[in-house]
Amino acid sequence: MAINRTFQFGEDHLTTSIALGMAQGTIRGIFSNECLKNVNASYERVQRIVEKGDTVYGINTGFGPLCNTKISKADTKILQSNILKSHSVGVGEPISTELAKIMLILKIHALAKGYSGIAETTLQRMLWHLENSAIPVVPSQGSVGASGDLAPLSHLFLPLIGLGKVEYQGKTIPTQALFEQTGLQPLELGPKEGLALINGTQFIAAHGVMVVHKLQHCLRHADIIGAMMLEGLQGSMKPFFEELHELRPFKGNQHVAGRIRTLLQGSEILEDHIDCERVQDPYSLRCMPQVHGASRNAWLHLKELLEIELNSVTDNPVIINDELTISGGNFHGQPLAMALDYAALATSEIGNISDRRIYLALEGNSPGVPKLLMKDTGINSGYMILQYTSAALASENKSLCFPASADSIPTSLGQEDHVSMGSISGRKALNIIENVEKILAIELLTSAQAFEYRKPLKSGILLDEIHTFLRTKVAFAENDRVFADDIEKGIEIIQNGEIINLVDRIMEEKQLKWNTPHLQEFETY
């Protein structure tokens, strides 16, 4: 991808989209002269502390329960390398290279603010790894989310001292092999540098970045697919009227109702049953603004908190100025841990209501739509068993919704007596999102099948174009077939954002606008 802009580490305001842009190579991170001036000033402050012999945690003391153990001036450098080694205790499958890259981006930005005592040479080496896509291998398990993400961050920075492994040019190789190929040498970390590297919330925050990105995709898809199901089952438009949602003006509810009104604008299907005798629809159709909207509100909450975190200093101790060094708790992951658990629940609910709409489509209670979404049943099972899969996924998500942040197991011989478990919150949230993508893929298939039975009537231009596009990927089913193949195609469509891109393109071409308030808040990150 071509680089289309630059971002000044330590100075510019970092957002989820900018972090993703840097990870994907469309935005280049740089250090300004002013940034490096601040970094070097902080580094010099640490050197003066060492020279004076003042006792400052992590600079000339041990760590955690060893905070009262004084370290000699001669041993301060050994201490910093040892902390990377001793804290590299991660286990489990490595996180994705993209997640590790985002961790690196977030850490560079935090250290570049000039409160951490890091050396410019160390910061430049970190940027080299980013620019050359030599991304450290980071195990997924081992962080309790307080004192920062110690284990994953230790693995992230082992390559600075010549240890660990990296993903480089499509292969996982030892750092020593990377050095042989590139001519790099291990760095000698100065006082406090090791602690500055591994103290922080960048593992949790990187997961937060991916949750904000992927959950928004799920939310957008849920509105679009839910609107198609509403048309397929001849649901009422009245529950989406603006007048109703002005009486209970939650931002998410208003936004979802407005999106669905826009998607259904100009629908012949709606006009065809405007005077039908049905009094009201089941909740899974009627309450989309309330349910999808509540999940939208949770997403917005996470987005706002994450943006604060992305632009914060979260290591410890923090070097404020020559006179003030604070050993505090900015590394504690609780602010994000709770928000990620909330987002996990919000995501799961999108899957729950989607599964209910899938089931509703199979019942055969909507005029013109056959039971199990297929006319010749008996010899054919139709779409019956696809709902088994969505039910299994929805149930699995419920088991993943126990809040990790509700737990705390003391560590570090009781010095760290309350921890956030936020790393688990982030990992679980991404697992739930992956399951919901699969549920939405199944609803996409079933809603399109129901939608087909409304022909020759047309829906609004957006839904008609989506249905036409889907039929280029997955054919209408008149008989049973291996539906797993259809589901895989549906999952691919969801994960690639093809429907969202199609909608955006049509709206631009036709100069359409979303009939919704709060557009900027919910559609950007």
* CA dist list (Å): 34 to 7, 193, 378, 476: 14, 21, 74, 61
Residue type at 213 in one-letter notation: H
DSSP class per residue in 72-95: -GGGHHHHHHHHHHHT---EEEEP
DSSP class per residue in 460-475: -HHHHHHHHHHHTTS-
Catalytic residue among 43, 57, 115, 342: 57
DSSP class per residue in 420-468: --HHHHHHHHHHHHHHHHHHHHHHHHHHHHHHHTTTTS---HHHHHHHH
d(CA 193, CA 171): 29
Check: CB of residue 463 under 8 Å from CB of residue 274: no
CA 363 to chain centre: 35
**Residue 404 has what DSSP assignment?**
G
Residues ≥6 apart with Cβ < 8 Å to 146 = 329, 331, 332, 333, 334, 416, 418, 419, 420
Alpha helices by DSSP H, 183-250 = 193-198, 202-232, 242-246
d(CA 92, CA 141): 6
Residues paired with residue 172 on neighbouring β-strands, in sequence order: 167
Residue type at 84 in one-letter notation: L
383 as an active site residue: the answer is no
Residue 190: count of CB within 10 angstroms of its CB:
21
d(CA 136, CA 261): 47
Say whether the peptide bond before residue 317 is cis (omega within 30 degrees of 0). Answer: yes
Check: CB of residue 42 under 8 Å from CB of residue 117: yes
Q: Which two tokens stand for residue 214?
A: 């992927």
d(CA 114, CA 318): 9
d(CA 469, CA 259): 20
CA 174 to chain centre: 29
The per-residue b/e assignment along 193-221, b for 16 or more CB within 10 angstroms, e otherwise, is bbbbbbbbbbbbbbbbbbbbbbbbbbbbb
* Catalytic positions, written as ranges: 57
